[in-house]
Amino acid sequence: MRIVMIGTGYVGLVSGACFADFGHQVTCIDKDAGKIAALQSGKIPIYEPGLEQLVSSNVAAGRLDFSLDLKDAVAQAETVFIAVGTPSRRGDGHADLSYVHAAAREIAENVRGFTVVITKSTVPVGTGDEVERIISETNPQADVVVASNPEFLREGAAIRDFKHPDRIVVGTEDERARKVIAEIYRPLYLNQAPIMYTGRRTAELIKYAANAFLATKITFINEIADLAERAGADVQEVARGIGLDNRIGSKFLHAGPGFGGSCFPKDTRALVKTAEDHDVPLRIVEAVLAVNDARKRAMARKVAAVFGGNLRNKTVGVLGLAFKPNTDDMREAPSIPLITALQDLGAKVKAYDPVSMEQAKLELPNVTYCENPYSCASEADALVIVTEWEQFRALDMSRLKKEMCQPIIVDLRNVYRSDEMAKHGITYVSIGRTQASEPVLAVKDV
């Protein structure tokens, strides 16, 4: 089947490459000439494990190509996916649908014959109706069905998620469109991938509701972590204890510095705004956003508390900048408000991340970037673990202690155990757990 994927961002590129790997003929379209040129030369603009090899193998096989020319590609396509960005609109938090609407107009101008147009971008309820209206007004003769097929990909595990999905949600009541989409996903049938057919608006809301619920789980366990610290409990054991309940589940119950990334912050905001448009209050989701924003700022105060609240003339090393491991995505990463707050409190900040430092430099220019975790720790008064990369799970504590001015680690991901740190003579502060040793207050206050 001939497929056009409009947008070569995270969703579009991963989806296009996976569809090509299924055996379909896929053309990925983008208006960014530099990005298309890079993709044509084999350079992948994002970091995602396995993606570079997947793209190169399908390009070599002739099933995947990249182009700036939407006109010819859409004219030959049986299916066109809209996978453009829907960032938060400046000033009000609504999803910015300008790229979706622009794509709909261009599709309408160039479509030939029966075509299924599928929104894969995360969009508010009713967006499919608007896309359908735009296409109909632009080209009244167009034989087009508009469907919704939201993505549920985790950055860092996107290819596996695409090929082994929990579910495939398809929002359409048109039988022709159902048959086309079923054929697109037919290669997954051996994996017994469940396809759920719904109305278009229901599919759009499923995506937002899913992200809001997961964001709520993260925020809930973060608040429980704060209570655990004060009450002398262990949040990790609490999370395990409630996660073993099948009604709750263990995923997204890991206490930390708050959620970030390209999806949860903007999608929860957009869901709240959509609810306001329909005069329906979403108090829980509103609270999730407020608590998460406050938590990111509070992490800097947690570091400062080790020094009695005074970070002047202190050097703090930060391990991990991306919002999660196995990605270079810095969008709304907790490291950004953390580092900014540390600097506002007077600290000098050094940082290391395995893959995201080039992107981080655009957001955080006044940081010293290091070659590895040990150079980041060198002459630091404290080391803060922000992203739980595997590279940070087995650090040489003896070496770290020798490198640092003061042996203090603030672990915002609970990578290590308090008793292990105590054996190394390291002052260790974690999230939601009783500390093995009292914080060192300004051991080398200058």
Q: Active-site residues: which are they?
A: 263
Cα–Cα distance between 194 and 182 in angstroms, integer? 11
Backbone angle region of 386, left / alpha / beta, with phi > 0 → left and psi within -120 to 50 → alpha: alpha
CA distances from 72 to 27, 29, 110, 336 (A): 10, 11, 8, 42
DSSP-derived 3-state class of residue 131 = helix
Residue in 313, 298, 329 with CA at minimum distance from that of residue 380: 313
Of 266, 261, 262, 263, residue with least CA distance to 323: 261
Q: How many CB atoms lie within 10 A of CB 234?
A: 18
- Compute the distance between CA of residue 367 and CA of residue 382 in angstroms, rounded to an integer: 15
CA dist 2 and 78 (Å) reads 6
Residues 234, 432: contact at Cβ < 8 Å? yes
Q: Give the Cα separation of 107 and 100 in Å (integer).
A: 11
Looking at this protein, which amino acid is placed at residue 365?
P
The CA distance from 343 to 218, in Å, is 27
Distance (Å, whole) CA 114 – CA 183: 15
Cβ atoms 215, 259 nearer than 8 A: yes
Residue with tokens 């971008």, as numbered in its chain: 121
Helix or strand run (H / E) with residue 5: strand 2-6
The token pair that represents 244 in the structure block: 């073993």
Residues in the chain: 446
